[in-house]
Amino acid sequence: MFEPAYLKTIQEGSFQENITRARDLLKDCRVCPRDCGVNRLKDETGFCGLGADAMVASAHSHYGEETPLVGSAGSGTIFFTSCNLKCIFCQNYEISHLMEGEKVDNTELGRIMLKLQGMGCHNINFVTPSHVVPQILEAVHWAAGNGLRLPLVFNTGGYDKVETLELLDGIVDIYMPDLKFMDPKISKELMDAEDYPQVAQAAIAEMHRQVGDLQINEQGIATRGLLVRHLVMPDDLAETRKAMRFLAGISRNTYVNVMDQYRPCGRAIGRPGVHRSVTRDEYTYALEMAREEGITRLDDRVRPRIRFF
């Protein structure tokens, strides 16, 4: 019978120590690689624009996620406001850039988790959580004490500090990072994060160390492990071959969703290089590169679309 990792960590008595260490990171904020140094406990704000409280844009049962997360009842997604990357092409631009959402204290965040569990969702899916890890930890601890028993999904852009991820060891069951770009110059231009490639690769390696390859039960539902997303970009800006080679180096059994849904949003509209969607040929070639580099465990929604622009 499945038991989420955080229950064992609570029983062992180390969860509270992780909460304390995470709150310390907020005092001169070092939660994410931006290292803003502001005191978020006093509501000072840095790159992400958030102080002591998390903000939630929406929470619901989501059927658009990867197959092993969705099952028959959906993934219990909590969309956090803001982001530590703010990609110019973000498809959730209103949430990540324009800061749509409402402040929630940690108890209310825990109640949201319990509500999603009560709806029958297969997991609790934290979307864009990198900048609110301390708040999530406190909320999970409260929710577990009040009956939460679902696996936790850390659904991130991949711009995560190993130091912060270590606080999630024994708490997060499923890591779902993006691996966006392999070129520092492109990362700087499109995300203002020149160090993204090295940070994301170190983060993904740490995630795999913690949870291993994705495990799927007899009902086809993921219970533990690593699932990586890679968005195919026009003119191979994401350098898919390099990305797949890196993932195969971690494990040739890495579960990957090679995604075809890029479209210009936000500040990417009309911008040279990112002003169009990917073509059928670009996506097909990305899948070929993944397989050539040894990645064959692809999400079963990976397929050429009927319509390309």
How far are the Cα atoms of 5, 157, 241, 256 from residue 199, in angstroms, in the given order? 25, 11, 18, 19
How much is the pTM?
Answer: 0.96
pLDDT value, residue 300: 77
Q: Residues 42, 43, 49, CA angle at the centre, nearest 5°?
A: 150
pLDDT along the chain (309 residues), means of 10: 94 96 98 98 98 98 95 97 96 94 98 98 98 98 98 98 98 98 98 98 98 97 98 98 98 97 93 95 97 94 44
pLDDT value, residue 83: 97
To the question of whether residue 83 is assigned a binding role by annotation, the answer is yes
How far are the Cα atoms of 103, 111, 121, 146, 204 from residue 124, in angstroms, in the given order? 19, 12, 8, 15, 20
To the question of whether residue 121 is assigned a binding role by annotation, the answer is no
Angle formed by the axes of helices 133-145 and 15-27, to 10°? 150
Tell which residue, 80, 79, 97, has the closest CA to residue 88. 97
Tell which residue, 56, 30, 29, has the closest CA to residue 44. 29
Structural domains of the chain in order of their starting residue, each with its CATH number: 5-292 (3.20.20.70)
**Cα–chain center distance at 103:** 20
Tell which residue, 1, 66, 17, 35, has the closest CA to residue 170. 17
pLDDT value, residue 274: 95
The rounded distance, in Å, linking the Cα atoms of 100 and 225 is 31
The rounded distance, in Å, linking the Cα atoms of 243 and 290 is 9
Three-state SS letters, 12-31: HCCHHHHHHHHHHHHHCCCC
Tell which residue, 99, 91, 106, 94, has the closest CA to residue 47. 99
Q: How many CB atoms lie within 10 A of CB 60?
A: 15
pLDDT value, residue 1: 79
Q: How many CB atoms lie within 10 A of CB 219?
A: 10
- Which phi and psi angles does 174 have, rounded to 5°? -130, 125
Token pair, residue 200, equals: 């994301």
